[in-house]
Structure 1
Amino acid sequence: MPKTDPTPDSRTDSRTDSKKDSTKASTEWQKHWKARRGRFIEECRQAHERLLADLKCPTTAQDRVLADIIGVSAASLHWKEHNYDVLASDKASFRKVLPIMRYDDFAEVIERETRTKGGTLTCSPVLRWLKTSGTTGTPKRVPYTLHWLLTYRIPAMMAMWGTYLEHHPELLAHPYATLDTQTVREDVSDFVHGVEHQAVSNRHPQINTRDWNPPWYEAPWFGPATPTSHEGRMYHRIRHLLGRNLHYISSINPSTLISLRDLIEAHGKSLVRDLREGTVDGEPWGEPDPAAADHLAAVLEKPGFSLKDVWPSLTLYSCWLSASAGLYQSKLDAVFPGVAKLPFMSCGTEGVTTIPVDDTPHSQPLAISQAFFEFVPAEVPLGELVERGEPVETLLFDEVEAGRDYHLIMSQGNGLYRLWTGDIYHVDRIEGGTGGVPWIHFVRRDGVFHSFTGEKITEAQVTQAIEQGVAEQGLDMGLYMCGPKWGEPPHYVALVESHGSDKGVDAELSGRIDEALKTINIEYASKRDSGRLRPIEVVTVPHDAINAYVEGRRAAGNATQYKYKPFQQDIDFVADIVGD
């Protein structure tokens, strides 16, 4: 039977019913917000206080964590098969008996765990499998156990939000005060033997009453009914919060915050229309808001408007602020003029490494209560030693030195013991003197370098050289991308965002950066002096050229945790950004 168009009266009735439904939904989520607010604040405060107490007694905290890891793992099949339950009982025996492992070394036992759903690596049930955010290769399966959830991962989130609330209590002033883009709620479609396989940032479905449950958990822009695409979800977030006294925007990656502003500009007309008509993406939602529509329309007329223009009430944003993410700072300053900032925790799917306790942007204390941590000086070829199965001497947290870089090894309460992820951290300082907690920041990934002739240039070295060269030239700097160009002889090509770019500037800047690289990397200097490498070629590009390229490659499945990578394995990006 052919479908007929509804009559005008039926269309009106439908829109009226939809508005009634949306009004009811709005009332229900705000009831949840009000009921949850006080308890959430108290939970975050307590987690924050426990973190601070552990930072004052770090040795006690590390002893407790290791005892907990041994306790939850000793009776597991894997530990019994290798006699770890008998041989590993303290720091010395644990480090002597259990080998340093890479993720791939756990492949066989993880495969077994997918079938047992607990009892193989630890004696805690596996509630879901966490996948990495990468777009290539086979996604990892990191066991998310009940014990890990309750004892480590949720307390880490609570402690971080405790820091945020201590510095900015206004972020829970009212139901529209906070826009959380750190986490999402998405229906899961990927399973491993019946258990969900999803990103760690996806906090859906809720596992139990102690799972992550912020006041805005039922907000209409946060639930699984929102679009799954990055652009669609961001549009819904923006639409629901326009015209509100938004105080705080949280994010993992700074690129998400830049994208938020760009999407307002790109979809401004649709947003103004939705505000005037009381719709969301053309569908009925609540009452029209002509004042908010007029305000946004006026903001859109202003070239280079900021998010502070959109929401004058903004007082805080948070995201990663160190390593390559720090290159976004000039863009963030433009998007959030006069707005305070706090860092997001240093973490990955495999575990939490630092938790912010103040507004220091580039360094935070080792998350002493999140894992049992060991360190190996970065100059040690750890990958080669682990590959050959050779024993490696490690240092504990109270044996590292300020000013040095270290491989980080961590043992988690989910069964992944002595895990080396390849991350290298710099120790900025030791808080509290000898035996105190190291304040650290992520520097680079081990083995991520370019080497035409043995120079092994790392991302950190390229970043340092470019920042030095740009500063000497008196230029401003945004993002950059660098990659190898093969030839006779080969050389490196870098694109750098900067205002007022021209060929004359590029030539001089290339020379300055080349000289800086020679100073930083003696092997690069040797290869350059012998003619085996040509000088690095630097091309300045307009601000946002690289950012636009990066955002264009953001995939729907990893939008929340998407990472900008300045160090590339080829120079395909050059043609895409500046042409041939």
Structure 2
Amino acid sequence: MLPRFDLTDPKAALSLLEDVTTNVNQIQDSVLEAILSRNAQTEYLGGFLNGQVDKQSFKKNVPVVTYEDYRSYIDRITNGEPSDIICDQPISVLLAHSGTSAGVPKFIPLTAEELEQRISFGSLYRALLYKHIKGLNQGKCLTFYFVTGEIKTVSGLMGMSMITCILKRVNTTNSFLWDKLQVSPHEIATCVDTTQSMYCQLLCGLLQRDNVARLGAPFASSFVKVIKFLENHWHELCSNISTGSLSDWITNAQCVSGVGKILTAPNPDLANLIEQECSKTSWEGIVMRLWPKAKCIEGIITGTMAQYIPVMQFYGGSLPLISSWYGGSESFVGVNINPLCKPSDVSYTIIPSMGYFEFLEVEKDHQKTCHDPAENPVVVDLVDVKIGHDYELVVTTLSGLYRYRVGDVLRVTGFHNNSPHFRFVGRHKVVLSIGMDKTYEEDLLKAVTKAKLLLKPYDLMLMDFTSRVDCSSFPGHYVLYWELGSKIKDSKFVLDPNMLEECCLTIEESLDTVYRKERKYDKNIGALEIKVVRSGTFDELMNFSVSRGSSLSQYKTPLSVTNEESLKKLEANVVSESFSRKTPSWELHEMYPGR
């Protein structure tokens, strides 16, 4: 487990980081030993181990599982059975997994002990930021957090997002640390009305613009949505600042109380300054213009979040984008020890104290697991991974997850001391498929990234996108929904159909040889289609998901949409449709070298 240290002392955090990344093998063995010795008699582990608590028995007898394999135990706990069926300590909260786009929540168990570990984990990457970015300790953070309502299960356990859980815990134990680090009062960040919360967090940030040393949100997508919200509300925000009074529609008691601590008098000079910046023709670099002392923008920009990097760079100007850490509801895993690296070079160093980590090797080219989990696969230990290889993460935790497949594919890029660096590749799942073709997250993101380059001459940006397979006619084809934005403020752009057709072809040319063969040679796939949707469409999708229990802080636009209500919203907002007029290139030797 992560040793105790002074959360307010960056030097202590950096020293600990060096220690845990050096003694990796010893720490991993001790973590597993602690987990097994404490939980071997639980119903779940006892059924596999029969009293044996050694590492070899664990690897031989405990299966690698997915959530569906585990769901019955979680369901029993939510329905009132004691949590000791999976864990020796009481489960204090059930984390609603961020991947709930299908509308069926996944609950991940968490104990109070592991929650404290995760809060301590935050001090590790904060110390790295202070080390690499000078001046951060001379100001505070404007980090946009959003909580969700809590779900009370039959057992009385509460289900909530990870962000909500941590913010609630901070309020009871580390409120002094929050006040030291954040410009927005805690009560505003924990307001469940996300619209009022977002407005008031922006207002607090603008009022204290000279005290903001860094900005951010848990995910890049959340930060982009905040800036788009600012575009629509800056007139009103300036009015509040100028008059010293809060808008009447802000009625939430937490927001009113929080803003009241900061909005204490009229400040027309500040309002005029903000108005001058927001009124300019372009919003390029608006973040550094509104917050001139900011040193960076923080938020996860890897995986599916990479699509937002160009938009973040446009709004952020020359401010570096920092992707600080990697983890999820199942476990906090690693930190970025080189926070000032290029967004495309971000890797995370595994912190071996945070859980017991194993890795299921994945074929890089085809994203297929080398070993069938149903056949008791060979799983690689943390110290045995190889540079350049892809792996699916498997975690074992103190909170009752055992050999649990997270679903994330990670690529080894190097080592820090004896702990490996991993680049997040994507989720281990197919997002689009019609026949023999299988397009994975990484494939689709790379293809769209190439197509986005064609937007530059038109001063357009891809603000958000998703996709689906349309099999309503034969042959079926891929459909991409694009929301575009102009780099010129209030500009009404005209879409060039030739450009969009070229985007379609560029995407098809970037997909793998199986897709291109099925498309050109076998004629089993129809021409790829791009449907441009109205501005604000993806905000509608987000609001729809949030209304069904998702957290705005953890919301990610799904790369593939199957929900009927979401598809209806997309289709209702289509303003342009374009197809590839040409077929992508494909040669026989691509699939059969030497022929």
1:290 lines up with 2:244 in the alignment: no
Distance in 1, matches of 2:519 and 2:556, equals 32
Distance in 1, matches of 2:86 and 2:542, equals 38
Q: Which residue is equivalent to 1:402?
A: 387
Mark the CA change 1:447 to 1:219 in structure 2 (over 3 Å): closer, same or farther: closer
Distance in 2, matches of 1:209 and 1:507, equals 55
TM-aligned CA deviation for residue 340 of structure 1: 2.3
Q: Which residue is equivalent to 1:21?
A: none
TM-aligned CA deviation for residue 336 of structure 1: 0.9
Q: Which residue is equivalent to 2:22?
A: 56
Mark the CA change 1:459 to 1:521 in structure 2 (over 3 Å): closer, same or farther: farther
- Please list the CA deviations of residues 486-545 of structure 1 after superposition, one character each: whole Å capped at 9, or x if unmatched: 22212212345487851112233333332222xx23354245311111232346779x67
Distance in 2, matches of 1:39 and 1:405, equals 36
What secondary structure does 2:352 align onto? coil
1:223 lines up with 2:209 in the alignment: no
TM-aligned CA deviation for residue 45 of structure 1: 4.3
Distance in 2, matches of 1:567 and 1:187, equals 26
Distance in 1, matches of 2:389 and 2:561, equals 26
Mark the CA change 1:344 to 1:173 in structure 2 (over 3 Å): closer, same or farther: same
Which deviates the most, 133-142 or 234-243? 133-142
Which deviates the most, 292-301 or 372-381? 372-381
TM-aligned CA deviation for residue 189 of structure 1: 5.8
Q: Which residue is equivalent to 1:14?
A: none
Distance in 2, matches of 1:192 and 1:153, equals 27
TM-aligned CA deviation for residue 255 of structure 1: 1.8
Q: Which residue is equivalent to 2:12?
A: 46
Alignment size in residue pairs: 528
1:334-483 aligned within 5 A: 334-359=314-339, 360=341, 361=343, 362-379=346-363, 385-386=372-373, 389-431=374-416, 436-471=418-453, 478=462, 479-483=464-468
TM-aligned CA deviation for residue 397 of structure 1: 2.1
Paired residue type of 1:94: F
Distance in 1, matches of 2:333 and 2:54, equals 24
Correspondent of 2:474 among 485, 488, 491: 488
Distance in 2, matches of 1:208 and 1:402, equals 42
TM-aligned CA deviation for residue 477 of structure 1: 5.7
Mark the CA change 1:474 to 1:194 in structure 2 (over 3 Å): closer, same or farther: closer
Mark the CA change 1:216 to 1:578 in structure 2 (over 3 Å): closer, same or farther: farther
Mark the CA change 1:99 to 1:526 in structure 2 (over 3 Å): closer, same or farther: same
Paired residue type of 1:443: V
Structure 1's unaligned 5+ residue stretches are 1-37
Contact kept in structure 1, 2:146 and 2:194, CA below 8 Å: no
Paired residue type of 2:267: D
TM-aligned CA deviation for residue 347 of structure 1: 1.6
Which deviates the most, 116-125 or 244-253? 116-125
1:561 lines up with 2:554 in the alignment: yes
Distance in 1, matches of 2:93 and 2:465, equals 37
Correspondent of 1:108 among 52, 72, 80: 72
Correspondent of 2:156 among 194, 209, 225: 194
Paired residue type of 1:163: L
Q: Which residue is equivalent to 2:59?
A: 95
Contact kept in structure 1, 2:142 and 2:183, CA below 8 Å: no
Distance in 1, matches of 2:455 and 2:71, equals 50
What secondary structure does 1:460 align onto? helix
Distance in 1, matches of 2:107 and 2:543, equals 27
- Please list the CA deviations of residues 316-335 of structure 1 after superposition, one character each: whole Å capped at 9, or x if unmatched: 11111112211111111111
TM-aligned CA deviation for residue 414 of structure 1: 0.7
What secondary structure does 2:142 align onto? strand
Paired residue type of 2:273: H
Paired residue type of 1:355: V
Distance in 1, matches of 2:573 and 2:174, equals 43
Q: Which residue is equivalent to 1:9?
A: none
1:226-305 aligned within 5 A: 227-244=191-208, 245=210, 246-282=212-248, 285-305=263-283
Mark the CA change 1:551 to 1:146 in structure 2 (over 3 Å): closer, same or farther: closer
Contact kept in structure 1, 2:481 and 2:531, CA below 8 Å: yes
TM-aligned CA deviation for residue 381 of structure 1: 5.5
Mark the CA change 1:156 to 1:39 in structure 2 (over 3 Å): closer, same or farther: closer
Contact kept in structure 2, 1:373 and 1:408, CA below 8 Å: yes
Q: Which residue is equivalent to 2:517?
A: 525
Q: Which residue is equivalent to 2:585?
A: none
Mark the CA change 1:383 to 1:111 in structure 2 (over 3 Å): closer, same or farther: farther
Paired residue type of 1:578: V
Distance in 2, matches of 1:199 and 1:473, equals 36
- Please list the CA deviations of residues 190-249 of structure 1 after superposition, one character each: whole Å capped at 9, or x if unmatched: 355223221110135338976686332897632168642222111111112213211111
Distance in 2, matches of 1:156 and 1:333, equals 28
Mark the CA change 1:89 to 1:124 in structure 2 (over 3 Å): closer, same or farther: same
Correspondent of 1:129 among 62, 83, 94: 94
Contact kept in structure 2, 1:87 and 1:97, CA below 8 Å: no
Mark the CA change 1:230 to 1:66 in structure 2 (over 3 Å): closer, same or farther: same
- Please list the CA deviations of residues 244-297 of structure 1 after superposition, one character each: whole Å capped at 9, or x if unmatched: 211111311112212222222212222122112222334664222222212122
Mark the CA change 1:140 to 1:403 in structure 2 (over 3 Å): closer, same or farther: same
Distance in 2, matches of 1:406 and 1:400, equals 8
Distance in 2, matches of 1:104 and 1:313, equals 48
Contact kept in structure 2, 1:469 and 1:516, CA below 8 Å: no
Paired residue type of 2:325: M
Q: Superposition RMSD on alpha carbons, in Å?
A: 3.2
Q: Which residue is equivalent to 1:511?
A: 505
Which deviates the most, 355-364 or 161-170? 161-170
TM-aligned CA deviation for residue 51 of structure 1: 2.5
Contact kept in structure 2, 1:127 and 1:145, CA below 8 Å: yes
Distance in 1, matches of 2:273 and 2:64, equals 58
Distance in 1, matches of 2:217 and 2:541, equals 17
Paired residue type of 1:95: K
Distance in 1, matches of 2:274 and 2:219, equals 25
1:576 lines up with 2:541 in the alignment: no
What secondary structure does 2:89 align onto? coil
Q: Which residue is equivalent to 2:125?
A: 160
Paired residue type of 1:409: V
Contact kept in structure 2, 1:129 and 1:144, CA below 8 Å: yes
Mark the CA change 1:344 to 1:546 in structure 2 (over 3 Å): closer, same or farther: farther
Contact kept in structure 2, 1:459 and 1:567, CA below 8 Å: no
What secondary structure does 2:187 align onto? coil
Contact kept in structure 1, 2:189 and 2:201, CA below 8 Å: no
1:178 lines up with 2:178 in the alignment: no
Distance in 1, matches of 2:207 and 2:434, equals 55
Q: Which residue is equivalent to 1:69?
A: 35
Distance in 2, matches of 1:560 and 1:145, equals 22
Paired residue type of 1:374: E
Distance in 1, matches of 2:502 and 2:171, equals 60
Contact kept in structure 2, 1:501 and 1:540, CA below 8 Å: no
Paired residue type of 1:534: G
TM-aligned CA deviation for residue 576 of structure 1: 2.1
Paired residue type of 2:224: I
Structure 2's unaligned 5+ residue stretches are 249-255, 487-493, 578-595
Correspondent of 1:310 among 287, 290, 299: 290
Contact kept in structure 2, 1:365 and 1:437, CA below 8 Å: yes
Q: TM-score, normalised by structure 1?
A: 0.81
Contact kept in structure 2, 1:45 and 1:159, CA below 8 Å: no
Distance in 1, matches of 2:173 and 2:536, equals 44
Distance in 2, matches of 1:71 and 1:187, equals 36
